[in-house]
């Protein structure tokens, strides 16, 4: 039976460093999210210009989650959230993780080795969300704290939410440099010669060859 | 009676909505069976969550995934079908109608590839292909919204007189490259032969085939069986947790061509979006998954 660990945000570096790749977690507290590459680029522009972000992410989270938000009488409501592919943010994440000392990043599909190295240095984990888990993940949203940069299309905005029991999520990359994504790819690559041999054998069998 | 603009518009919109909120019955069944057979506890847990998510979306009228994809329709027109009005416009208007009326609303995914600007409309949207069915008194519309997660891993390569071994190795290369990025367990569509364009088309059409329907071509039925086994030996598992369930099915289609043989590989994520309907001359609408 797999245990799911409940984590309250903000989270300490110590707790983050105690997590292992493959662990299941659930989150309570405030999270920040966006699904836009232009959003990441704007974050870096702000960093370079020494400007303060409209939503502070220092020591916090930045998840690759898309959300549908809309302005209803001056207040934003968020109708649903869901993860997006993180690997397309590989190039910008090391700078952002380091600059803001992020404790948690996440989405789906993982991040590359350069990101994992920075995460190890900073004390940050990558959490893998269920793609196609929108109804379950959205039920965890309890309050919309703020929505910034609404000049972007909805899923590119920077959104801060308060969540309860968000998950279960899987630690895909821990703060020790272990990445389940790398491990699985390496293992699949190692297995490939045997897999191809198996295909040859099955092909011979299917052809009725001895 | 005839098949009208209004009927086609309404069916086009409702098929799309169905794809977003309900995963096909055979896919749910395949996920259930995979969950029972899984030996990896984490993978089992993820498969259970997938079924919970699918159930929640269906029963509470919500989207399974926030990536509503781009509108893709496959239309087959029966030569005995009587058409009344601009059927082509009706499909496009059907998608517009969906955007205006669907609850919860969908996000803007139609992207101009030159500027990366996103909206609900764009050049050549919706993506519609047409075919004919001799003698049929209906129009068949199949909707398969395509999202980024699985859409971006499709690939095609052209070989010269490849052996089955070469073809299968290429499929495995594509599987290795996609890893667990395409929201597995996936349905894999493989096209072999034809021309550049036809090969991609038959690979895509292969993903629409319901589970359990045996490939009528014995060579391909065998290939599907051994490829599925091979893909699941990679061990990526559901959403990359590790495990025995990386693909639910491999469907292979072929077309004759010249000795230059394209091989196309595409993926449907676990949601396996597909919904179809036949609209008959007498107004009857028959739905299928």
What is the arithmetic mean of pLDDT over B140-157?
94
Query: Is there a contact between A24 and B42 if contact means CB atoms under 8 Å apart?
Result: yes
Query: Is there a contact between A68 and B45 if contact means CB atoms under 8 Å apart?
Result: no
- The region, left, alpha or beta by phi > 0 then psi within -120 to 50, assigned to residue B61 is left
- CA distances A118 to A124, A189, B26, B90, Å, are 8, 25, 43, 52
Do B114 and B181 lie in one domain? The reply is: no
Tell me the ipTM for this assembly.
Answer: 0.94
Query: Is there a contact between B237 and A202 if contact means CB atoms under 8 Å apart?
Result: no
Give dist(CA A118, CA A96) in Å, integer: 10
Beta strands in chain B (DSSP E): 3-4, 72-78, 83-84, 110-111, 118-119, 127-133, 138-143, 155-160, 186-193, 247-255, 260-268, 275-280, 285-288
What is the arithmetic mean of pLDDT over B251-262?
96
Query: Is there a contact between A170 and B107 if contact means CB atoms under 8 Å apart?
Result: no
In a domain, B46, yes or no: no
In a domain, B42, yes or no: no
pLDDT tens sequence across B179-218: 999 999 999 999 999 999 999 999 999 999 999 999 999 9
State the DSSP H helix or E strand holding residue A188, giving kind and residue range, or none if neither: helix A180-206
Shortest CA distance from B184: residue in chain A:
A131
Of the partner residues A170, A187, A195, the one whose CB lies closest to the CB of residue B241: A170
Of the partner residues A2, A68, A139, the one whose CB lies closest to the CB of residue B41: A2
- The region, left, alpha or beta by phi > 0 then psi within -120 to 50, assigned to residue B179 is left
Q: Which residues of B touch A67 (CB under 8 A)?
A: 66
Of the partner residues B152, B235, B239, the one whose CB lies closest to the CB of residue A130: B239
- CA distances B25 to A9, B68, B183, B208, Å, are 39, 20, 18, 13
Query: Is there a contact between B242 and A180 if contact means CB atoms under 8 Å apart?
Result: yes
Query: Is there a contact between A196 and B172 if contact means CB atoms under 8 Å apart?
Result: yes
Do B121 and B131 lie in one domain? The reply is: yes
- Fold for the domain defined by A4-178: fumarase (3.20.130)
Q: How many angstroms away from the CA of A158 is the closest CA of chain B?
A: 15
Look at residue A34 in the predicted model and tell me its pLDDT. Answer: 97
Q: How many angstroms away from the CA of A9 is the closest CA of chain B?
A: 23
Query: Is there a contact between B107 and A68 if contact means CB atoms under 8 Å apart?
Result: yes
Do B103 and B190 lie in one domain? The reply is: no
Look at residue A2 in the predicted model and tell me its pLDDT. Answer: 84
How, if at all, do strands A125-128 and A104-107 pair?
parallel
For residue B132, the cross-strand partners are B77
Chain A interface mutation, best of B47, B48, B60, B66, highest count of A Cβ atoms under 10 Å: B66
Q: How many angstroms away from the CA of A133 is the closest CA of chain B?
A: 5
In a domain, B33, yes or no: no
The tokens describing A37, both together, are: 């590459």
Please, are residues A188 and B231 in contact by the beta-carbon 8 Å criterion? no
pLDDT at B261 over 70: yes
Look at residue B252 in the predicted model and tell me its pLDDT. Answer: 98
User: How many Cβ atoms from other residues are within 10 Å of residue B146's Cβ?
Assistant: 21
Look at residue B43 in the predicted model and tell me its pLDDT. Answer: 96
pLDDT tens sequence across A69-92: 998 988 899 999 999 999 999 999
Do B135 and B177 lie in one domain? The reply is: no
Look at residue A209 in the predicted model and tell me its pLDDT. Answer: 65
Q: Which residues of A touch B165 (CB under 8 A)?
A: 199-200, 203
Q: How many domains, chain B? A: 2
Of the partner residues B104, B183, B229, the one whose CB lies closest to the CB of residue A79: B104
- What is the rounded average pLDDT for all residues in chain B? 96
Query: pLDDT tens, position by position, for chain A (210 residues)?
Result: 789 999 999 999 999 999 999 999 999 999 999 999 999 999 999 999 999 999 999 999 999 999 999 989 888 999 999 999 999 999 999 999 999 999 999 999 999 999 999 999 999 999 999 999 999 999 999 999 999 999 999 999 999 999 999 999 999 999 999 999 999 999 999 999 999 999 999 999 988 765
Beta strands in chain A (DSSP E): 4-8, 24-34, 61-72, 75-83, 104-107, 125-128, 141-148, 158-173
Provide the whole-model pTM. 0.95
Q: How many angstroms away from the CA of B57 is the closest CA of chain A?
A: 6
Of the partner residues A22, A66, A135, the one whose CB lies closest to the CB of residue B56: A135
Give dist(CA B217, CA B224) in Å, integer: 11
In a domain, B134, yes or no: yes
Shortest CA distance from A201: residue in chain B:
B226
At a CB cut-off of 8 Å and minimum separation 6, what does B158 contact?
B196, B260, B261, B262, B263
What is the arithmetic mean of pLDDT over B9-15?
97
What is the arithmetic mean of pLDDT over B33-62?
97
In a domain, B52, yes or no: no
Please, are residues B90 and B144 in contact by the beta-carbon 8 Å criterion? no
- Residue B39: phi and psi, rounded to 5, are -105, -10
Q: Which residues of A touch B41 (CB under 8 A)?
A: 1-2
> In B179-282, which ranges are continuous DSSP H helix?
196-207, 218-233
Give dist(CA A43, CA A100) in Å, integer: 11
In a domain, B117, yes or no: yes
Do B156 and B226 lie in one domain? The reply is: yes
Please, are residues A63 and A127 in contact by the beta-carbon 8 Å criterion? yes
Q: Which residues of B touch A199 (CB under 8 A)?
A: 165, 168-169, 172, 226-227, 230
Q: How many angstroms away from the CA of A42 is the closest CA of chain B?
A: 15
Residue with tokens 């496959």: B74
Q: DSSP state, B104? A: S
Do B135 and B173 lie in one domain? The reply is: no
In a domain, B257, yes or no: yes
Query: Is there a contact between B57 and A135 if contact means CB atoms under 8 Å apart?
Result: yes
Do B116 and B17 lie in one domain? The reply is: yes
pLDDT at B32 over 80: yes
State the DSSP H helix or E strand holding residue A198, giving kind and residue range, or none if neither: helix A180-206
- CA distances B2 to A164, B85, B186, B218, B288, Å, are 53, 10, 39, 40, 21
Query: Is there a contact between B176 and A188 if contact means CB atoms under 8 Å apart?
Result: yes
A71-98 as b/e, with b when 16 or more CB fall inside 10 Å? eeeeebebbbbbbbbbbbbeebbbebbe
A6 or B149, higher pLDDT = A6
Give dist(CA A64, CA A19) in Å, integer: 20
Give dist(CA B200, CA B189) in Å, integer: 9
Chain A interface mutation, best of B240, B245, B268, B270, highest count of A Cβ atoms under 10 Å: B240
Look at residue A27 in the predicted model and tell me its pLDDT. Answer: 98
Please, are residues A62 and A33 in contact by the beta-carbon 8 Å criterion? yes
Look at residue B149 in the predicted model and tell me its pLDDT. Answer: 84
Domain that holds residue B165: 148-268
Per cent of chain B over pLDDT 70 is 100
Look at residue A210 in the predicted model and tell me its pLDDT. Answer: 55
Do B108 and B154 lie in one domain? The reply is: no
Please, are residues A195 and B176 in contact by the beta-carbon 8 Å criterion? no
For chain A, the C-alpha Rg in angstroms (whole number) is 20
pLDDT tens sequence across B65-117: 999 999 999 999 999 999 999 999 999 999 999 999 999 999 999 999 999 99
The tokens describing B289, both together, are: 């998954």
The angle subtended at Cα B248 by Cα B254 and Cα B33, nearest 5°, is 145
Of the partner residues A2, A135, A202, the one whose CB lies closest to the CB of residue B226: A202
Do B157 and B248 lie in one domain? The reply is: yes
């Amino acid at each position: 039976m797999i245990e799911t660990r409940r984590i309250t945000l903000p989270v300490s570096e110590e707790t983050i460093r105690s997590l292992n790749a493959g662990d299941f977690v659930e989150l309570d507290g405030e999270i920040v999210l966006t699904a836009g590459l232009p959003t990441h680029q704007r974050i870096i522009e702000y960093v370079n210009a020494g400007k303060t972000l409209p939503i502070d992410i220092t020591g916090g989270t930045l998840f690759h989650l898309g959300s549908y938000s809309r302005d209803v009488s001056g207040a934003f409501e968020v109708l649903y959230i869901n993860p997006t592919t993180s690997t397309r943010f590989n190039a910008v994440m090391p700078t952002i993780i380091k600059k803001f000392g992020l404790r948690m990043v996440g989405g789906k599909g993982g991040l590359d080795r350069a990101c994992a190295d920075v995460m190890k240095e900073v004390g940050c984990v990558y959490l893998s969300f269920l793609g196609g888990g929108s109804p379950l993940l959205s039920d965890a949203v309890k309050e919309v704290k703020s929505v910034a940069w609404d000049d972007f299309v909805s899923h590119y905005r920077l959104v801060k939410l308060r969540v309860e029991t968000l998950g279960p999520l899987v630690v895909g990359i821990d703060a020790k440099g272990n990445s389940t994504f790398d491990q699985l790819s390496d293992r699949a690559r190692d297995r490939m010669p045997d897999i191809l041999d198996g295909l040859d054998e099955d092909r011979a069998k299917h052809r009725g060859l001895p | 009676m005839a098949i009208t603009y209004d009927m086609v518009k309404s069916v086009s919109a409702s098929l799309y909505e169905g794809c977003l909120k309900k995963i096909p019955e055979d896919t749910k069944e395949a996920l259930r069976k995979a969950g029972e057979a899984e030996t990896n506890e984490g993978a089992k847990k993820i498969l259970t969550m997938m079924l919970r998510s699918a159930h929640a979306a269906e029963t509470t009228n919500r989207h399974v995934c926030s990536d509503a994809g781009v509108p893709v329709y496959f239309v087959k027109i029966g030569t005995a079908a009587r058409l009344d009005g601009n059927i082509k416009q009706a499909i496009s208007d059907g998608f517009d109608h969906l955007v205006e009326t669907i609850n919860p609303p969908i996000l803007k995914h139609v992207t101009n590839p030159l500027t990366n600007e996103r909206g609900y409309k764009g050049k050549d949207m919706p993506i519609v292909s047409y075919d004919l069915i001799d003698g049929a008194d209906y129009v068949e519309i199949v909707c398969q919204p395509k999202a980024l997660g699985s859409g971006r891993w499709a690939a095609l390569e052209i070989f010269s007189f490849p052996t089955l071994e070469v073809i299968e190795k290429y499929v495995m290369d594509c599987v290795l490259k996609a890893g667990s990025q395409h929201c597995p367990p996936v349905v894999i569509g493989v096209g072999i032969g034809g021309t550049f364009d036809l090969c991609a088309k038959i690979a895509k059409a292969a993903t629409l085939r319901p589970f359990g329907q045996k490939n009528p071509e014995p060579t391909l039925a065998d290939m599907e069986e051994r490829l599925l086994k091979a893909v699941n030996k990679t061990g990526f598992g559901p959403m990359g947790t590790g495990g025995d369930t990386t693909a639910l099915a491999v469907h292979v289609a072929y077309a004759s061509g010249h000795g230059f043989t394209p091989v196309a590989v595409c993926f449907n994520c676990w949601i396996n979006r597909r919904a179809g309907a036949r609209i008959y001359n007498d107004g009857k609408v028959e739905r299928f998954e």
